[in-house]
Amino acid sequence: MFGIDLSGQPEIVVQVAGYIEAGWELAASWLLSPAAWSQFGLLVVAYFAALMVTRKLRPLLVRVLDPGDSTHLLATPRRFVMGFLPLLLPLMAYVFTGIGESIVRSLFDSGAVIAFGKRVFLFLAVRALVRDIITDSFLKLIGKYVFLPIAGLYALGMLDVAQTQLSAMTVQLGNISFSVMALVRGLIAGALLFWLGRWSNEQSTNFISKQEEMRPSIRQLAVKSVEFIIFGVAFLLLMNIMGINLSALAVLGGAIGVGLGFGLQKIASNFISGVILLVEGQATVGDYVELDGGEAGTIVRMTARAAILETFDGRWIVVPNEDFITTRVVNYSDSGSANRYEAPFSVSYDTDINIVPDIINAAVAAHPDVLNEPYPADCELVGFGDSGIDFTVEFWVNGIDDGQHKYKSQVLFIVWNALKDNGIQIPYPHRVVEFKGAVPKIET
């Protein structure tokens, strides 16, 4: 090259020098060729024509596509299409350059310069797509490090060479063999499928969550089912794109099955129990439950493996789904049904106990959260204690007596005040000591 002897240099240096020499010869031929100059002129004309058309067409498209503050059904698609307006100039230049290329090839039987310019305009379109249109951080990362390099190789006319070199390189993993090109194609497709699956899952989750006529448990099951289907289909598509025969994964699938059978029994059991819970709807998000083991709280989240309970003091308890199936569970919420509670108290033996129930029932019934249905407040005599007469008042509320709603405490305050207002004494422990024989003398 240029009279320089490269015979003693490494092979890669010789190859790079060969590419540089070929590029130099191509550039020299373009500089000295009238056809090349005519093609370059057509490139300039195509760009200015695209610029003029874009200036005229863009305001018209904005008026047609801009929905303003409208919430009409077509407003979102119109905003989406309007976001692609930055591609108008490079794509119009690409179209006009393509027309110029067909003219040049018919006249000179050559169009290398204008073809190169057309590829450059396509590269500029991809650059505008990544820089100005894509807003998702994950897609922007893919565009910056995948789409732009591919578009750059295409613009330089080296994309086919790169594909050939990558296709010739193979990777062997056991009995599975694939080329580096398949791996690159799989990484690109996998990234796009992952993003598309995540986006589809978010859209389907939002749609299902708005279906208020469905039970919460059925909505939860539908969300999980759609999620498994979306990512299952994405996995199968990725295997097909990479050219991996799924039958080659049979051994791996068998090993996973054996692992599920022996080492992952609990996980499988909890997963199946979770599906049963979602189908039956006996416990769902928002219910206040108490398990046989003493765990109690509001279900704030249900996963494939466990349910998460939040106690009244803010702690989270992770309870395996299997415990909801194999043990006794008390569901205090059960779709918002009323619950009965009791508040015990005592009065002095000097009290006329016949007036106590009416006083307490009227006072407790005045509480705004105490219900008259299914039963009103009911004060009952329960026994004669050592220090006083024992009563209890039963009352119904449409909620849970937990850290947020301390109904029992509030009712006891009401009982105390009602007894005080009516002059009824609340006893405290008394002890009577009897001495048999002479009373012992106390020496002073």
Q: Are residues 39 and 144 in the same domain?
A: yes
Q: Are residues 152 and 204 in the same domain?
A: no
Q: With 90 as the cut, is the pLDDT of residue 177 above it?
A: no
Find all residues with CB under 8 Å of 328, minimum gap 6, and list them.
291, 292
- pLDDT tens by residue, 108-158: 666 667 777 788 888 888 888 888 888 877 778 888 888 888 888 888 777
Burial of 104 (0-12, 13-18, 19+ CB in 10 A): buried
Q: Are residues 227 and 210 in the same domain?
A: yes
* Average pLDDT estimate for 276-297: 76
Confidence of residue 175 (pLDDT cuts 50, 70, 90): low
Residue located via tokens 């591609």: 87
Can the peptide bond before residue 344 be classed as cis, meaning omega within 30 degrees of 0?
no
Burial of 119 (0-12, 13-18, 19+ CB in 10 A): buried
Which one is predicted more confidently, 281 or 139? Answer: 139
Confidence of residue 392 (pLDDT cuts 50, 70, 90): very high
Tell me if 267 is assigned to some domain.
no
Amino acid found at 33: S
Range among 84-93, 175-184, 273-282, 394-403 with highest mean pLDDT value: 84-93
Alpha-carbon 136 to chain mean position:
15
Tell me if 194 is assigned to some domain.
yes
Q: Are residues 136 and 40 in the same domain?
A: yes
Tell me if 439 is assigned to some domain.
no
Q: Are residues 56 and 132 in the same domain?
A: yes
Nearest to 367 by CA among 389, 395, 331, 392: 395
Q: Are residues 46 and 121 in the same domain?
A: yes
Tell me if 440 is assigned to some domain.
no
Q: Are residues 120 and 199 in the same domain?
A: no
Q: With 60 as the cut, is the pLDDT of residue 94 above it?
A: yes
Tell me if 404 is assigned to some domain.
yes
CA distances from 371 to 179, 298, 312, 378, 396 (A): 73, 22, 23, 11, 5
Which one is predicted more confidently, 55 or 167? Answer: 55
pLDDT the model gives residue 319: 84
The C-alpha atoms of residue 426 and residue 408 are separated, in whole angstroms, by 18
Q: Are residues 319 and 350 in the same domain?
A: no
Tell me if 11 is assigned to some domain.
no
* Average pLDDT estimate for 247-266: 62
Amino acid found at 154: Y
347: which strand partners? 389
Q: With 60 as the cut, is the pLDDT of residue 40 above it?
A: yes
Amino acid found at 396: W
Confidence of residue 379 (pLDDT cuts 50, 70, 90): very high
pLDDT the model gives residue 347: 92
Q: Left (φ > 0), alpha (ψ -120 to 50) or beta: where does 305 sit? A: alpha
pLDDT the model gives residue 1: 47
CA torsion sign for 351, 354, 359, 365 is: positive
The C-alpha atoms of residue 391 and residue 357 are separated, in whole angstroms, by 9
Q: With 50 as the cut, is the pLDDT of residue 262 above it?
A: yes
Asked if 344 and 392 touch (Cβ cutoff 8 Å), the reply is yes
Instruction: Give the total number of structural domains in the chain.
Output: 4
Q: Are residues 120 and 212 in the same domain?
A: no
Token reading at 271: 């997963």
Token reading at 376: 């009103």
Q: Which of 234, 262, 290 is the last residue of a domain?
A: 262
Which one is predicted more confidently, 251 or 347? Answer: 347
Tell me if 296 is assigned to some domain.
yes
The C-alpha atoms of residue 289 and residue 319 are separated, in whole angstroms, by 11
CA distances from 337 to 333, 343, 373 (A): 6, 20, 11
Nearest to 80 by CA among 134, 144, 138, 139: 134
Mean pLDDT of the chain: 76
pLDDT the model gives residue 217: 62
The C-alpha atoms of residue 325 and residue 273 are separated, in whole angstroms, by 7
Q: Are residues 185 and 213 in the same domain?
A: yes
Q: Which of 92, 127, 157 is the last residue of a domain?
A: 157
Alpha-helical (H) ranges within 309-442 are 321-326, 356-365, 407-421
The C-alpha atoms of residue 178 and residue 198 are separated, in whole angstroms, by 27
Confidence of residue 28 (pLDDT cuts 50, 70, 90): low
SS3 at position 151: helix
pLDDT the model gives residue 111: 64
* Average pLDDT estimate for 216-232: 72
pLDDT the model gives residue 23: 60
The C-alpha atoms of residue 273 and residue 306 are separated, in whole angstroms, by 9
Question: CATH code at 372?
Answer: 3.30.70.100
Q: With 70 as the cut, is the pLDDT of residue 405 above it?
A: no
Question: CATH code at 327?
Answer: 2.30.30.60
Confidence of residue 412 (pLDDT cuts 50, 70, 90): very high
The C-alpha atoms of residue 316 and residue 298 are separated, in whole angstroms, by 9
Q: With 90 as the cut, is the pLDDT of residue 413 above it?
A: yes
The C-alpha atoms of residue 278 and residue 220 are separated, in whole angstroms, by 7
Full residue range of the structural domain in which residue 287 is found: 281-331
Q: With 50 as the cut, is the pLDDT of residue 345 above it?
A: yes
Percent pLDDT > 90 in the chain is 8
What pTM value is reported for the model? Answer: 0.48
pLDDT the model gives residue 391: 93
Percent pLDDT > 70 in the chain is 74
- pLDDT tens by residue, 302-329: 777 788 888 777 788 888 888 888 888 8
The C-alpha atoms of residue 274 and residue 268 are separated, in whole angstroms, by 10
pLDDT the model gives residue 338: 78
Phi then psi dihedrals of residue 172, to 5 deg: -115, 120
Q: Are residues 415 and 343 in the same domain?
A: yes
Tell me if 174 is assigned to some domain.
no
